Amino acid sequence: MGVRGRRCSAVLAAAALFGTLAYAGDDKGNDDKDLAPQGKGIGTLKHPGDPGDHNGAARTNSASTSQNGIFYHGGPVILGTTNIHYIWYGNWSGNSATSILTDLALSIGGSPYFNINTTYTNGSGQPVSNSVGLSSPVNDNYSRGKALSDSDILAIVAATNPTDTNGVYFVLTSADVNETSGFCTRYCGWHSRATIGGKDIKFSFVGNPDRCPSACEAQTTGPNGNAGADGMASIITHELEEAATDPDLNAWYDHRGQENADKCAWTFGTVYKAANGAFANMKLGSRDYLIQRNWVNASGGYCALSY
């Protein structure tokens, strides 16, 4: 384990001891005008979830008097099964990521971890379901080149003719691909939505952290032996839980524009050693993963790995 691996040990230990306290009481002011989220709040290891980086985001009214540190703003949540659609962009030949991240998608639904999202409801009190499905993957061989803009990500999604309004379409890029609006400097992944073919389509960009290990990989060796894929697992779950609870960027977020996963970004709670010596904090299916905590919208609000 290299220098960053040793740094990760200290970071994880600190997160386990202090992470909940650091977040639980930091957003219970009386400001009734909230910054709207931009979907890019995860940040990087060097700049984790900077609450001041909102690109001039508009302020919106809080529609809830929640005392859990996160507030409802009237928009929809995803009800029923949330479906994952992977778009493998670039060169993934021979990369174990395709197995590691497929197994993640097949096992996260029904888990104590994803159950955290059931603490979020729509305006009628209907909760997000602890159910996740996986569709057939799509492969894209550099249709937009190796330097992608946000609009390129949307075009890649649109080219698949998406129709699933309960789905999240993930553009997963290989390590030789850059997202030019701030991958590795401002964010490691993001989510958004667009009207495509008359339907409200939710989508996400997640880059391979092997492109910038010091910014987007929590440790030099992941529990599944693929640091890039193991890093992507945490970023994918971050975007998935935000898309489920705030799909149109107008439902659940705090006064600073941070969505549920933003509030716990880069904190991992209690960890253990996987068989290969890497850190992990949960087993999903047959695999160990190191997944960031998520914000529980109950009991005053707190970061956790289960509910």
Note down the domain range covering 36.
3-304
Phi-psi region of 94 (alpha: psi -120 to 50; beta: other; left: phi over 0): left
Parallel/antiparallel/unpaired status of strands 33-35 and 59-61: antiparallel
Instruction: Answer whether 131's CB lies under 8 Å from 110's CB.
Output: yes
pLDDT at 118 over 70: yes
pLDDT at 62 over 80: no
Considering its fold, how many domains does the chain have in total?
1
**Average pLDDT of the residues of the chain:** 87
Give 180-193 pLDDT, tens digit per residue.
999 999 999 999 99
Rounded-to-integer distance, Cα 293 and Cα 173, Å? 24
Supply 95's token pair: 């990369």
Give 210-221 pLDDT, tens digit per residue.
999 999 999 999
Rounded-to-integer distance, Cα 161 and Cα 20, Å? 41
Give 20-56 pLDDT, tens digit per residue.
333 333 444 444 566 656 666 667 776 665 433 434 3
Give the 3-state secondary structure of residue 132: strand
Give 223-276 pLDDT, tens digit per residue.
999 999 999 999 999 999 999 999 999 999 999 999 999 999 999 999 999 999
Rounded-to-integer distance, Cα 211 and Cα 213, Å? 6
